[in-house]
Chain A
Amino acid sequence: MSHHKLEVKDLHYSYPDGHKAVKGMSFCIHHGESVGIIGANGAGKSTLLMLLMGVLFPDQGEVCVGDVHVTKKTLPMIRQSLGMVFQDPDDQLFMNTVYDDVAFGPRNYKLDEKEVEKRVFNALELVGILHLKDRAPFKLSGGEKRAAAIASVLSMQPDILIMDEPTAALDPKSRRKVMQLLTSFKHTKVITSHDLDMIFEMCDRTIVIKNGEIAADGVTSEILVNAELMDDCGLEIPLSLQNCPVCGTEKV
């Protein structure tokens, strides 16, 4: 795939229990864009990402990666170019050691063991947990698990990186590190988060979701300062953009 466009057309999805989680979303993400997806709890962000990855299939509408529709048949090919970090790292780590977990993806693509090792070390180095490589994932702290989960996706060298709340549960330094890491990732990024300051720094474009529908889609610096819109969608203007609580100096 020469350019990694990600397109969604009139997407609908309801969970088996009848709950309508996504109601008619459409957007197109171009190569190299970094897009933040924000919205209140239960707005449908995670569901949308699952649809993008082909973990769930839409009831109506379609998802295209490059020029290929996401269907059961094209899934193996599409998943080579998409990498996703789950909201809950426990769901993502299932091997006995961090090393094996990070190596799982590359090994599935039948790379030889030398190359696998190189990629694993690279990925672990990038997220700064090389010293944890022989530990069992279930014995790590929440933040360390998160870092391992990110490494397990980076080792696959995806063209499009999809992350569900990558900085949740991280300490400030690790959060900063993950942000730098993501900035250094030059391909397309789709990030959901409640960390609006991060979205403000990292993403040029933001999509706001409210009750399974797109409430706004545009330039981050315009959307995040729109107090009325944010309030309406159960959000707030990021702290870094709010007036100073001590001296009351106005920023906006």
Chain B
Amino acid sequence: MANIMNSLYNMRLLDDLARQETVIHKLHPLMKLLTTVSYLTVVVSFGRYEIGGLLPLLLYPVIVFTLAELPVKPILLRILLVSPFIIGIGILNPFFDHQVYLLGGREISRGWITFLSILLKSGLTVTAALLLIATTGMDRLAGALRMLKIPRIFVLQLLLTYRYISVLMEEVARTLRAYSLRAPRQKGVHRSAWGSLAGQLILRTFDRAQRIYEAMCLRGFTGEYHTGGFKEIRVWDLSYFIGWVFFFAVARMYNIPMLIGSLITGVIR
């Protein structure tokens, strides 16, 4: 059961990280959101066979990781969490796309290239999204979305879903703990108890979500989520955004590794 309690604590890890006060954390949420969105757009816009061009974009997560002083391991773990889905989507490519591609004198099926590019792209996008949450926090992110005039109902949906996940996890942890304490010599949950356990779980989370919602209403909640005032957008925030967008644009238009390569070979010649 320790595992589940651990993952519960980990669930909230992103929230904890978001409370640090580093250069990145102090940036205006809106600018961080926009930077992330442009990053995602650029990453996704690369073609299926371009891997080289994607590489410079690795710089962004690396720099944010460093400046925001985020622990790499737990965030990488979360990226691995979604990797089965990505592999599931990409794994068929090598079987269907048999065209041969020459790379440094060796033959590689193009399928593998696309597989690799899917893997890289999704890795980068998931990382960027996690970094955004870990440096901004869901609440302030919601505030930024509202500043972009995203309808209140969607933002609320997002926030409450995010909350609901932790409520669900807590209920799961409690139920399983109660179960394991009274079924000491069992590994996991016996299949005869699955049905009632799952049913209980759903009902209890519904109930709790309901009570939490009531508690919110009792304190004047009317659908608008206030997370405290936002600071003004400073020049520095704006230049952070513009700087990155400029970099992304350059990385999109020129194949930087190729340029550097030809530059070096040019010099050598």
Interface residues, chain A, CB within 8 Å of chain B?
Answer: 53, 55, 75-76, 79-80, 82-84, 86, 88, 90-92, 94-97, 100, 103-105, 107-110, 112-113, 116, 134, 136, 138, 152-153, 156
Contact = CB atoms under 8 A, between A and B. Distances in A.
A108 B227 CA distance: 9
A100 B16 CA distance: 13
A79 B217 contact: yes
Interface string B3-17: 000000000100110
B163 interface: yes
A80 B139 CA distance: 24
Nearest to A55: B214
Interface in B202-240: 208, 211-212, 214-222, 224, 226-229
A144 B16 CA distance: 19
Contacts of A100: 139, 227-228
Contact of A79 (B137, B170, B220, B227): B220
Interface residues of B, number: 27
B219 A113 contact: no
Contacts of A90: 208
Given A113-B228, A134-B19, A96 B219 contact: no
A94 B12 contact: no
Contacts of B227: 100, 107
B220 A94 contact: no
Which 7 pairs of residues, A with B, have the shortest CB-CB distance? A108-B220, A105-B219, A107-B226, A91-B211, A113-B229, A96-B15, A92-B215
B229 to A, nearest CB: 5
A127 to B, nearest CB: 16
Contact of A103 (B137, B212, B215, B228): B228
A95 B12 CA distance: 11
Contacts of A88: 211
A113 B216 CA distance: 19
A94 B163 contact: yes
Contact of A94 (B216, B226, B228): B216
